[in-house]
Structure 1
Amino acid sequence: MTDTPARLLNLLSLLQTPREWPGSELADRLDVSPRTIRRDIDRLRDLGYPVEASRGAVGGYRLVAGTAMPPLLLDDEEAVAIAVGLRAGAGHAIEGVDEASVRALAKLEQVLPSRLRHRVSVLQNATVPLTRGDGATIDPQTLTVMASAVTGRERLRFAYRAGDGAETRRQVEPYRLVSTGWRWYLVAYDLEREAWRTFRVDRVSDPYPTGSRFTPRELPTGDAAEFLSSSMARIKPELAIDVSFAAPAEFVASRLPASIGPLEPTGEHSCRLRATLSGSLEWVAVRLAMVDCEFTAHGPSQLLTYLNDLGGRLTRAAGQSTVPSAERSAAQEG
């Protein structure tokens, strides 16, 4: 193999397999001399790949963890698996899947061959994920287009549906994508309104980059997450909630979005949540009810009132029936 760049890529692909490769085996695989393998290993090291060599009769080479993430070579199956996983996470705003993950998805889909893009779409359309959190689902393509515009500092046009249903066309300078754990938001400078705005991504449709580059403006307050929090606080009054749960903190935390706030263990089988939220009263009440354990709300008064009204509606919806617990268990298992 006389093509040095192609040989280096093939060598790198072999080394990214989690095993140690004897120099003689690498030389046979690539049809070159052991001396050429040693030179190519030095080239990879110069490019930042941490290749470790072991001495001895059965010594060889292997790729180890370094101080920085070098470029990876993925085969078809690996690329499809990663793309499907990232699209599933991005489309449903799973906690922990933030803008960095969306940027990674945008980069990956940019270079995927058409045959692999088709496989990703088929797999995505054929599966229905069960997610924790109740935010509206999003077309991953919308997120990747936005992430690319943010990274490339390119002006973006899209159709936007406001909370009251009004439809508008927007042209913005996209600054950052922010995930709250159950929804995605775009922080951007609106060119027509000459002001910073936040847009719910699930209300965006037909986004496309204009090709016009821009120099990012300075946000009026802090970073994008702080700006989003202050914007949401202006739209919805903050709600200081205080709730006790008759369950371990780990159990409750697994059933609530992490963005709600930390839980305070009060015993082996109990915990307490004190947090200030800007979400709607209805959303908070439903999320508490979905924890699936006994809980006591200590405040605020509007939350107590809403929970009382919600409990009454649910009782009436069940016809105030008193089904024996054994029958309920049998019905659930069946």
Structure 2
Amino acid sequence: MTDRLERLINLVIALRETRRPMTAAEIRQRVAGYGQSDQEAFRRMFERDKADLRDLGVPVDTATLEPYDDRPGYRIDPRRYNLPDVSLAPDELAALALAVQATGLHDEGEAALLKLEVASGEPTGGRRSADPGLGVSLEAPHRETLVAAQVSRTVVTFAYRPPGRSAEQRVVDPHAMVHRRGRWYLVGHDHARDGRRAYRLDRIEGAVKTTGGSGAFPEPDAEVSVDDVVPAPAAGGP
């Protein structure tokens, strides 16, 4: 699989960078991964790769080389292949800045955000470390620990105090962190109850601990929403 992926990437690079269409013979000779000595094996592989790239939306064009050369040539027009410039409004950049902080992907996220800011001409600057005006606070107990467990798909355990009851130990597969009405919730699969539940972070008592290794449970197969497991609070309620 890795060899095939590398071959497809090499083919895309070669066809995108060439100034004139490349013949099949040139592709076989110059593109890494097409070193087959058997011409028929190369032809089948190239036809399959070409079809797969087109199915993925890569515009592999077929063109005539010269007026007196009827051999087909292949190339990728950069104007059709390259993504258009991204321009985001200030509120969209603010939402992305919040997402970078919420996920904890500081180094990678900050670098990507800076590129988008420069392209959009709307730098958030010092606002990255503050509430970007969306009414969402990142200050919540255990948030970073639970986000890390969600990303790595690691089971967590903690003591949880439901309203009007004493704290109970929970073992949970963390599926998502959800913000609703000014509060953060963990939504996940509760092992003891064998179902999806939501836990308000400020009702978790003591430390959140991880158990077992990463990849302990599959990613949820549907969009996670706190509304699925928590009824809407009454007006003025928590």
> Scaled by the length of structure 1, what TM-score is found?
0.35
Point out which structure has higher relative CO (alpha carbons under 8 A, 6+ apart).
Answer: 2
> Scaled by the length of structure 2, what TM-score is found?
0.45
